[in-house]
Each structure stands twice: as C-alpha cells, then as structure tokens.
C-alpha cells in the first residue's frame, strides 16, 4: 500500500487533496478511505450554513444572526481570508452575514472586530486545528466573555461554533459538540482552507454552492497535477522555475503581484505557506513549508531552500518596491492577471476601460524586467550622459505571468491548488519536509516562560529572572511602566 505519511517528522499523512475530492473517489489514510468522512462534514456545513443564512438558526434572544466573527490564526485564518476577499466583489449580492476575522491576540484586534456588533446577532466561529493555540484560545475566551456577559452562559450554544481536529477540547471549552465541524490530522494547518476551516466561514458568507465551485476548481488542478506530463504540468513547471531561481541563480525572494485588488490577501496566504524564519548561525532566511535548514533525513542542507515571499496588488506595488525590482536586487516575480474584471467600468471619453488601464501595467512590467533599457537606447533618446547610469535597466530579470479568464470561486480554487502543489514540488526536489513547522516552536515556548514571569511579577511582585541581559532589562522596564487591569477591574470590551 502507498505510504501517505510523507510528513515523517510528525508521523502524519498529507492528504489535503482529499478535502476536495469527488464523493466517489477513494483516498486512504492508514488503510481507511477518508473521502466519506470529508463529505459527511461538508454535508453538515451545508445544512448549518443554510439554517444561518435563511435566518432559521436564531440566537439566544430569538433573533437571526447577521454577523460572523471567525477567530483563528495562521492557516486557520489566512486561507479563508484570501478566498473571502477574492470573492467579495464578485458575489456581493450573495454576501449574507458580515464577516470579521480575529487573529491577533492584541486586544486592539478584538476591539476592532466587535466594534458595532451586537452579541445578540453575532455568531463566533472558533477555528483551530489543535484548539490549544494560545492566541486563538485567549481571543475565543474573550469573545465567550463578551457573549455571556450580555446574554448569559447558555447563549454559547447558539452563538459559538468550532472547527477543529480536537473535538474533546472543543467540548471542554463549552461549545456544543453538535456545533463542531471536524477535520483531521492529515490536513496541515496551512493547507486547510478546503477543510471546514475555510468551507464553514465561506459557506456562511456566500452559500454552500459557491464553496462547491471553489473545491471543484482545486480538485481539477489536483487531477492536472497528478496526470499531466511534466512538460505541461503547471505546478511542476512553476516549482522547477522556483528551484532554479533560488538554488541555481541564488535569488532569495519572490514577489507575488496580482493585478487585481480582489487578490490582496493572496500574498499573505502564500507567505504563511512559507513563513520566514531566521537562522542566526547562517543568516539563513527560511519558511514554514520550504525554508527548512535540513533535509527530510535531518542532514544540514548544502544549498539554500525556500523563498522569501512578499507582494502587493498591482499597481500599488509599482509605487513602492518596484524600484528595487527593476534596478536593485533581482527578485523573480509572479504576475497574476485576470481577463474579465469582477467590476467593469468604462468611462465615457476615456481611452480604455479602467480594467484595461490596470492590465496595461500587467503586460508592461514583465517586459520591462526582461528586456530593460540599454545605454544605447537612452543615448538615442538624447538622455544626458550623467543620467544614463541612473536610467539604464539591466533587464534579464525573471518573471512568470499567469492570466486567469476571470476571478470566480472556481478559478480561485484553481489558483490555490496551483500554489499548494508548487510548494510541494519545490520541497520534493530540495529533499525537505514541506509539511512540518518545528521552527515555530521555540518562540512559542519562550513566550510561555515570559507569560509565567509576567504573572508572577504582576501578582507577587517577583523580580525578573532566568532571561538574558537584554530581555531582563526590557521586561523590567515593561513591568515598571505599564498599567494593567487587575482581575477585579476587568478590561472593558468597548
Ligand atoms: O489551527 P491552530 O492549531 O490554532 O494553529 C494555527 C497555526 O499555528 C501554526 O501551527 C504555527 O504557526 C500554523 O501551522 C497553524 O496554521
């Protein structure tokens, strides 16, 4: 039998393709077909989201719920946010409850998310694979407090639902297990947008039929990736280009540049699939999926792996960091354009439509990068000698251009799956494990040491100990000046 436990450092299968497989497909983990379980949860989401959207699911005081706050971080936040934002303008007429995303543990984020919301008409979706992530759980407890303070403890059953692999902790938290939507160990956090993590919030917003199209788009790319010869296989070709740029040409970064505002959250999502880490010993910049310092067998890599991803929608980026891309360091770029705008505008008397104006830039930028401008060309334009070095463009700067027919749920699913598989292709060639993320653990455990110190200093006046000189000085200073709310004087939630 095929070994699907390719995430060998966590003894986990990697099966996010099963999340979008057709009902009749057989995909096994540990000898068990997981597709029926996937569809059981999808069917449950369909039913629940229809109840909420139709107003049949009412809150503790009998009112329909009109706002959704999704609480989650990392993969339990960025993927759904990217898809939600991508479809927002296309499907504005379907958008039922409003959609807020609470990720940061910063209380400012809580305050901003619930500003103007009424607990009576709000549904909170707590999204956490582990249900232990410190930020998410504190935010969830904060919103539970917000709801119960206004409506009483029983209101949690009507106003809070959860998405998790850890249904025991969901129940312990006080959420009715009937209102929990499961997913599985074989879904990595950053590959979870096609599970209940993304499907529940998106179904609540746009309806289940839209989400089905999104899943179908991703599934079509899964089939393409599985069966298309390498020379025509989009994720394979893109992955090879990335490996070439990083490991052979030594370019450490990649700019993701969608020429549509609808994809403004795409680069942040791909960044999470490749979160930068810093290895002081080798000044190695690394990433959550692919920026590993060692091979899958634990041997230190003799080459650089992973890219530093960043990006902004065009044309905004053109007015900030493109200067460096054109004349400074070489940054391979992914240009993503769309043929048919979600929002066509053509003003009378204008030379082109607004979308054509945007797309003029999409076509121009890769050419500028590739071909540049020579000193000879500048001379023939009578540019003065002293400005020639400043106005010269070296060219020979790599980019790829993806042109989507439109940006609907189906195409967004395709785009997501292309990038997911591309990450895997790169990881396979580099011989690393693209599916673990041990590099995030050290910071988490040090934060827990700080948390204990803050508690003992605040409650017992204990002095700071056990930290290095710099952190001791900073912590002492922090404890000296910050006014904190005491337990008997709780922080108000607006
Ligand atoms: O869904 P959880 O368990 O709350 O985890 C959130 C995120 O934290 C990480 O484990 C590390 O940042 C991500 O991989 C994950 O998406």
231 catalytic? Reply is no
SS3 state of residue 57? coil
User: Which residue's CA is the nearest one to ligand 1's atom 16?
Assistant: 75
Spacing, Cα 447 to ligand 1 middle (Å): 15
From the list 100, 135, 264, 288, the catalytic residue is 288
Active-site hit among 40, 63, 172, 319: 319
The reply to whether ligand 1 has any atom less than 6 angstroms from the CB of 133 is yes
Q: Is 444 a catalytic residue?
A: yes
Total residue count of the chain as it appears in this document:
494
- Give the distance (Å) from ligand 1 centre to CA of residue 480: 33
Active site residue 292: no
Write the CB contacts of 112 (distance below 8 Å, at least 6 apart in sequence): none
Which residues fall within 8 angstroms of residue 20, CB to CB, at 6 or more apart? 194, 215, 216, 218, 219, 222, 413, 417
The complex scores an ipTM of 0.97
Residue to mutate (ligand 1; options 181, 189, 423; most atoms within 8 A of CB): 189
Q: Which residue is closest in CA terms to ligand 1's atom 4? A: 128
pLDDT at 238: 97
Quick check: CB of 195 below 6 Å from ligand 1? no
Run means of pLDDT, 10 residues per run, the chain, 494 residues: 77 94 94 96 98 96 95 95 93 76 92 94 96 96 97 96 97 96 95 97 95 98 98 98 95 96 95 48 47 90 90 95 96 98 95 97 98 97 97 97 98 97 95 90 93 95 96 95 58 50
Q: Please tell me the residue having the least CA distance from ligand 1 atom 11.
A: 440
CA dist list (Å): 188 to 94, 129, 238, 331, 434: 30, 9, 22, 28, 10
CB distance 217 to 413 below 8 Å: yes
Integer angstrom CA distances of residue 337 from 167, 367, 415: 41, 15, 11
Q: Is 128 in the pocket of ligand 1 (CB under 6 A)?
A: yes
Residue 254 Cβ inside 6 Å of ligand 1? The answer reads no
pLDDT of res. 91: 80
**In 10 A of CB 433, how many CB atoms?**
23
The predicted structure's pLDDT at residue 288: 79
**Which residue in 40, 63, 154, 444 is the catalytic one?**
444
- Percent of the chain as helix, strand, coil, to the nearest 5: 50, 15, 35
**pLDDT, position 452:** 96
CA of 189 to the centre of ligand 1 (A): 6
pLDDT for the residue 493:
53
Q: Is residue 74 in contact with ligand 1, taking CB distance under 6 Å?
A: yes
pTM over cut 0.90 = yes
- For position 484, what pLDDT does the model report? 60
In a mutational test of the pocket of ligand 1, which residue from 73, 105, 182, 288 has the highest number of ligand atoms less than 8 Å from its CB? 73
Going by C-beta distance under 8 Å and a sequence separation of 6 or more, which residues neighbour residue 481? Answer: none
**Whole-number Cα distances in Å, 155 to 95, 161, 225:** 25, 11, 46
Q: What would the DSSP string read from start to end of 351-380?
A: SS-HHHHHHHHHHHHHHHHHH-B-HHHHHH
> Three-class SS of residue 29?
strand
pLDDT of residue 392: 97
Compute the distance between CA of residue 340 and CA of residue 407 in angstroms, rounded to an integer: 8
75 close to ligand 1 (CB < 6 Angstrom): yes
């Amino acid at each position: 039998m095929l070994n699907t436990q390719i995430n060998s450092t966590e003894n986990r299968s990697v099966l996010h393709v099963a999340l979008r497989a057709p009902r009749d497909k057989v995909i096994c983990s540990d000898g068990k077909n997981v597709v029926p379980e996937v569809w059981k949860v999808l069917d449950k989401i369909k039913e629940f989201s229809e109840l909420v959207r139709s107003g049949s699911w009412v809150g503790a005081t009998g009112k329909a719920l009109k706002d959704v706050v999704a609480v989650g971080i990392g993969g339990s936040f960025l993927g759904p946010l990217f898809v939600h934002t991508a479809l927002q303008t296309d499907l504005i007429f379907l958008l039922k409850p409003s959609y807020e995303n609470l990720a940061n543990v910063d209380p400012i984020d809580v305050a901003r998310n619930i500003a103007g919301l009424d607990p009576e008409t709000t549904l909170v979706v707590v999204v956490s694979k582990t249900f232990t992530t410190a930020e998410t759980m504190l935010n969830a407890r904060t919103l539970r407090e917000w709801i119960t303070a206004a409506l009483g403890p029983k209101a949690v059953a009507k106003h809070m639902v959860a998405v998790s692999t850890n249904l025991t902790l969901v129940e312990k938290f006080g959420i009715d297990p009937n209102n929990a939507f499961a997913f599985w160990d074989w879904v990595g956090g950053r590959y979870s947008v096609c599970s209940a993590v993304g499907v529940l919030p998106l179904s609540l917003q746009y309806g289940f039929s839209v989400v089905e199209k999104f899943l179908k788009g991703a599934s079509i790319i899964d089939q393409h990736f599985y069966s298309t010869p390498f020379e025509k296989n989009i994720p394979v070709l893109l992955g090879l280009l990335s490996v070439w740029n990083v490991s052979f040409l030594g370019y450490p970064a990649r700019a993701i540049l969608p020429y549509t505002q609808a994809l403004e959250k795409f680069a942040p999502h791909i960044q999470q699939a490749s979160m930068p880490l810093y290895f002081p010993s080798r000044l190695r910049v690394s990433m959550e999926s692919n920026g590993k310092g060692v091979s899958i067998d634990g041997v230190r890599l003799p080459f650089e792996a992973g890219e530093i991803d960043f990006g902004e929608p065009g044309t905004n980026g053109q007015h900030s960091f493109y200067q460096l891309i054109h004349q400074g360091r070489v940054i391979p770029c992914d240009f993503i354009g769309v043929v048919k705008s979600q929002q066509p505008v053509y003003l009378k008397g204008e030379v082109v439509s607004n979308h054509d104006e945007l797309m003029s830039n999409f076509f121009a930028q890769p050419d500028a990068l590739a071909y540049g401008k020579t000193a000879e060309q500048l001379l023939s334009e009578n540019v003065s000698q002293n400005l020639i070095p400043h106005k010269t463009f070296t060219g020979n700067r790599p980019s790829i251009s993806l042109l989507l027919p439109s940006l609907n749920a189906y195409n967004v699913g395709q785009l997501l799956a292309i990038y997911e598989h591309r990450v895997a292709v790169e990881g396979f060639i580099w011989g690393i494990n693209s599916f673990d993320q041990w590099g995030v653990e050290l910071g988490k455990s040090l934060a827990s040491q700080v948390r204990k110190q803050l508690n003992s200093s605040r409650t017992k006046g204990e002095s700071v100990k056990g930290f290095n000189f710099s952190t001791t000085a900073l912590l002492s200073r922090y404890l000296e000046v910050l006014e904190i709310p005491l337990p008997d004087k709780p922080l108000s939630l607006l």
